[in-house]
Every structure is written in structure tokens, then in C-alpha cells.
A and B are shown apart, each in its own frame.
Chain A
Amino acid sequence: GIQVEQSPPDLILQEGANSTLRCNFSDSVNNLQWFHQNPWGQLINLFYIPSGTKQNGRLSATTVATERYSLLYISSSQTTDSGVYFCAVGETSGSRLTFGEGTQLTVNP
């Protein structure tokens, strides 16, 4: 099956800093989504982005499907951004999502 690698595994930032999280995948995908799991365990869908670039407030994401990677940018980080960020991919538009191991982000005040 498809392999998903996320980097870095851990990231510690000071409030106000910017960061870039990366997701590499081993095969062509038609579905890619980014999720944030907050410290209470809730999983929130951030982006549905099989290709191209999207922005939502301080967060933006870019997927370059031909090169098999996606990036999640967090600008002016806040303590509420802490948690685990997951990338999940699907080989076809309707197939199940395979999750990466996540990036654990800690934003200190």
C-alpha cells in the first residue's frame, strides 16, 4: 500500500514563529487531507488539497502531486496551534485515507 512520511516528527516553536510541515507519499494520489489533533484528542480537518494551494487564515497548504509531496505552512503560530498534524492520502478519489505518523507541534508562550 501507499506509504506516507511526515517530517519533522517533533517541532517546538516560540509563539509568533512560522513553520513548515512536510508530507511525502510513495505513489500517485487523488486525495490528500491535512488534520490537526488538538491536545484533547479532537481531529479537525484543515485542508482537502489533492493538488494546488489553499489558504485559511494563518494556515496554508500546497500539494505538488507530480513530485509526491505536500506542505503545510503555519504562520505567526499561537499556543492553540499545539497538537499533532496529520497528513492523509488516498490513491484514488474514493479510496480510504492512509495516515502518516504525524508531526507533534508544541508552541510555547
Chain B
Amino acid sequence: DSGVTQTPKHLITATGQRVTLRCSPRSGDLSVYWYQQSLDQGLQFLIQYYNGEERAKGNILERFSAQQFPDLHSELNLSSLELGDSALYFCASSATPGSPLHFGNGTRLTVT
């Protein structure tokens, strides 16, 4: 068990809908990262937070947004969902930016 908790494990929704994925980092970790894993794109970095502040942005669509709260948990919001958004979404945390990364078990999103 990595200590990173992601909910829900599975999510099935329809095109055009909005969903929220939740992540609780390992105790003591200040950095949270979101990654998307799809069959044709591999593991793609979406966004990183450090101690509540956005630190780096990757290939995150404008329809997606995220935030890290004062208690350090993070949420990834996906809106106007399309079929192509179906993927495994991972949250990861580290003590500080650049230190070893630990992943949650992921949320499998299916858009129908």
C-alpha cells in the first residue's frame, strides 16, 4: 500500500457530464501530481501542486481543472466529458518536488 488514496476506483458516465476525482496524499507529502494513462498515450502528466499552490502544468485540457486544499488533498475535475477522456487517472504524491513519487491505485473513468 503506497499510502495514496484515490476515490472512486471506477466511474462510468455519459458524454457531456462532469466528474470529480479525489486524492489524499501520503501522510507528510506536500506535493500532489495527476497523471492520465490511456492505451494510445501512455502516462501523461497533467498537473502538479505543492503545498496548495500550482507548481507545474502539463497536457491538461481546458475542460479539466484541479486544486489542492489546505488539508493537502486534491481534486481533479473533468467536465464536458468526451469518449476520448476514458482512461485511468492516477494521483501521486511526494514529500517535496523531485523526491520519490508514490502512486495511488487510480480511478478508471469510462465515458459512454
Binding site for B on A (CB under 8 A): 30-31, 33, 35, 41-45, 48, 86, 88, 90, 92-102
Contacts and interface: CB of A to CB of B under 8 A. Distances in A.
Interface of B: 2, 33, 35, 42-43, 45, 48, 55-56, 58, 88, 90, 92, 96-103, 105-106, 108
A96 B103 contact: no
Contacts, number: 55
A45 B103 contact: yes
Nearest to A99: B43
A31 B105 CA distance: 23
A44 B96 CA distance: 18
Given A42-B103, A43-B103, A45-B103, A98 B45 contact: yes
Nearest to B92: A43
B45 to A, nearest CB: 5
Counting from the closest, the 10 A-B pairs by CB-CB distance are A94-B97, A93-B98, A43-B103, A99-B43, A48-B100, A94-B98, A96-B45, A96-B56, A31-B98, A45-B100
